[in-house]
Structure 1
């Protein structure tokens, strides 16, 4: 064993005196892509999100004892549920899987298949809870690979634009995946997201299959400029630059087909004075990004009224960017 491996093993040695009996954790929903940054940008919001209650038990192993708010859609099998599967991977990595037992209770406060990082919030809450229960042997950055693996289990693609902001908080940029290179970006104080979730079904896998594998060079150049402009706008706290940069010429034209009334919703939002409007993740949720809460709230109210008039039920959320990420609600 190398000195580096020995040091890493020692660094992650569990202090059993610090292990807790129970922890409850909340992890936030996220807006992936941030309109122009497909698979590389995302930010966390204050609400909605998911909660995990985790208890230490005598019998070794990982078990899910209850899931609330999922209408029976999520598996209780610990090998098939992303929360328990990732916690098992974490315990195996720490070489204590045969020394500790945990029971998990998951509460979904956010819609499944909403485009708001539902699986990410659950996975992050579970891993953050397990780490807290064990006395925090790993840093957030060290938890990230387990979170990415949860995304791979959930949707077949290990992207980090949801799990990174859900775990780290704020706005994150994924510069690369091999190896994972994650950058935390500055968050302007007045940046607000108004989110509307039209209650229609747009499965993530289906939405990804619509995306073209090849794009025109001129469109790629436009998108690169928008992403670079957005990052520069965040660092300069330049809302006008942020606004004109948050345009998607690659993904939105295809995915918008799956979202009823998308372009009408976009017109409504922009007429309210928001900075930008687009699809959250793979949809069907849409997001109006504004400076301050007023324009975002007006946009989501008018969009929701429009959807209701067309027989489409919806939910709305208005939130600043959540810079904290997951939080421990209770620890015993």
Structure 2
């Protein structure tokens, strides 16, 4: 067993427009890092958090990273183990890019690797979902599953949990813009309607099926045509300044698709190449700047690897 390990876990784009709570994919950047060290006395403690501006709890029972590691150690009956955790936030909190997910996954991947992998990555997902439940009140898997498994993941079912890794076009690039506005995940979830019209559900089913088919066929045009959301986006887009103007800007810059990442406020586009993705982010950022709204941008292919050991 290693005494010290450093792990990176990636940000993720959840929902992927039409796949609310059932689709997500990982990106290369941004992401979070965890440094984990063995200690003599049993238990899990957090010794340091950076990059969070003091927003995250140091209490091991309340922090998503340490709490999920505690659940994990109890499950594998190794509560005799003691670890100290340093969490280094390398991505913005409340961005809609799976910030809590990246932290939690980094911690779980670190402890599992440190103990010579008693569980598979798939088996780690429920523990990561516990962390999500602590962070935003809902233990969904559309961030944690792709963060752990890498690539595109479909959650076919939650009870029982049934995860399916999907193929995707290797040339696909993701252009992400995180506007400097506040959209808390809990609030964004509460806006969603609990009942939908059958005609809207039929449209949504067709789009989800089309998106999955497009990924399997590596048909970027079909992927683009299918990324339309008639259920959640019309409500959540209200929270994002100039959402439809941003979409128009992205599409004019060559985007294949445009939508909200997770619960927002980050927005993302698919592009056929890196050059187009960079053009999309720069034009959206320029538009936001003209509205006196700051933003961060990220351009990345789909990350097929998931978490990785840095040292």
Decide which of 218, 228, 249 is 1:268's aligned counterpart: 249
Which 4+ residue blocks in structure 1 deviate beyond 4 angstroms? none
CA distance in 2, matches of 1:160, 1:92: 21
Matched residues, number: 311
CA distance in 2, matches of 1:192, 1:248: 20
CA distance in 2, matches of 1:225, 1:271: 25
Structural mapping, 1:134-153, within 5 Å: 134-153=115-134
Deviations 1:165-190 (A, max 9, x none): 00000000000100111100002111
- Number of the residue aligned with 2:136: 155
- Number of the residue aligned with 2:56: 74
* 1:288 lines up with 2:256 in the alignment: no
Shift of 1:109: 0.5
- Number of the residue aligned with 2:65: 83
Structural mapping, 1:194-209, within 5 Å: 194-209=175-190
CA distance in 2, matches of 1:311, 1:289: 26
Decide which of 287, 302, 308 is 1:321's aligned counterpart: 302
CA distance in 2, matches of 1:283, 1:94: 35
- Number of the residue aligned with 1:94: 76
CA distance in 1, matches of 2:280, 2:254: 8
TM-score in terms of structure 2 length: 0.99
CA distance in 1, matches of 2:71, 2:195: 35
CA distance in 1, matches of 2:119, 2:141: 18
CA distance in 2, matches of 1:197, 1:274: 17
Shift of 1:141: 1.0
Deviations 1:208-250 (A, max 9, x none): 1111111111111001000000101111111111110011111
Structural mapping, 1:31-70, within 5 Å: 31-70=13-52
Q: Which runs of 5+ in 2 are unaligned?
A: none
CA distance in 2, matches of 1:206, 1:93: 32
CA distance in 2, matches of 1:29, 1:22: 23
CA distance in 2, matches of 1:34, 1:308: 26
Decide which of 202, 208, 223 is 2:204's aligned counterpart: 223
CA distance in 2, matches of 1:56, 1:149: 23
SS of 2:182 mapped into structure 1: coil
CA distance in 2, matches of 1:209, 1:142: 29
CA distance in 2, matches of 1:168, 1:197: 24
Decide which of 243, 246, 249 is 2:230's aligned counterpart: 249
SS of 1:284 mapped into structure 2: coil
- Number of the residue aligned with 2:193: 212
Shift of 1:204: 0.3
Deviations 1:88-109 (A, max 9, x none): 1111111111x22100000000
Q: Which runs of 5+ in 1 are unaligned?
A: 1-18
292-301 or 194-203, which moves further after superposition?
Answer: 292-301
Shift of 1:268: 0.1
CA distance in 2, matches of 1:238, 1:311: 38
CA distance in 1, matches of 2:118, 2:192: 40
CA distance in 2, matches of 1:22, 1:137: 18
Greater Cα radius of gyration, structure 1 or 2: 1
SS of 2:263 mapped into structure 1: coil
TM-score in terms of structure 1 length: 0.93
- Number of the residue aligned with 1:236: 217
Shift of 1:300: 0.7
